[in-house]
Amino acid sequence: MAKATRKQALGRGLSALLKDPDNDIQSASDKNADKVVGNIVELDLDVIEVNPFQPRSHFNDEALKELATSIRELGVIQPITVRKLEFNKFQLVSGERRFRASKLIGLETIPAYIRIANDQESLEMALVENIQRQDLDPIEIALSYQRLIDEIQLTQEKLSDRVGKKRSTIANYLRLLKLDPIIQTGIRDGFASMGHGRALVNIDKKEDQIAIYEKIVGQSLSVRDTEKLVKAYQQGDTVTAKKISNSPDFIKGAKNELIDHLSSKVAVQATGNGKGKITIPFGSEEEFMRIKNILLGR
């Protein structure tokens, strides 16, 4: 506890240093830069602006509230990363969820690592760090890869080295951007997985993609069943397609009841003989505990 208090006090001392106009740090070679750059500093939230290069554009309100609750109880465990713009002005490089959640509960300061970088470096840092560290959805990752290719002029080979992923993995993400926007939104919102998207991308016509996507969502098709359905569609096998797409009638209404009761996404997979499984995804320990207490009637 004493160690944590000492670190927090040090962060506040460095924060005061940054507010001294006579010691404004603009580059890594400036006086006292070594005390600030790369160190944890307690920064006022109102001197930090959101990074326009942030790849995450969709924030789940419920997950954000859960993170805010965690921060209220435990504090910000992992500092955000910012770059210095000008005197007492900073821009987010990574950690926007922590930044938003801290503002949500009325915090005035947040622990931050400080870097000095130009816009090009900031874009690359934001994209690469978020790909590696943040819980981005598959479409956001794909968009981040595409931006690195387009704006940093990276080939897929160089991108593979930069983010530590196989080229085939990167190619699979990029292919998701060929899906109809409705399906991309569905993947971002958790109604379909990357596996579903990889199957659907093999269908050229967008209207046919959407037709099968609606079956995936409406009938809780597994990735394997989706792959079979796509294959049957490509081969003109309407008998197999109909067999795969049929689900027991008792599933339809019951699934919606579960979703309403748990206030959570629910996936139900069932065969014609009534056998199957129920899957309830969760995004954090807090959400897991909430769902568990509902199921146990607590």
Say whether 227 is catalytic: no
Catalytic residue among 96, 124, 140, 227: 96
80 neighbors 110 (Cβ within 8 angstroms)? yes
At residue 76, φ and ψ (nearest 5 deg) are -80, 105
Sheet holding 48-49, edge to edge: 40-44, 109-115, 80-86, 89-94, 48-49
Please report the sign of the dihedral spanned by the C-alpha atoms of residue 28, residue 33, residue 35, residue 40.
negative
Task: Count Cβ atoms within 10 A of the Cβ of residue 143 and give its class: 0-12 exposed, 13-18 middle, 19 or more buried.
Answer: buried
109 three-state secondary structure = strand
Tell me how long the chain is.
Answer: 298
Which residues are known to be catalytic? Answer: 96
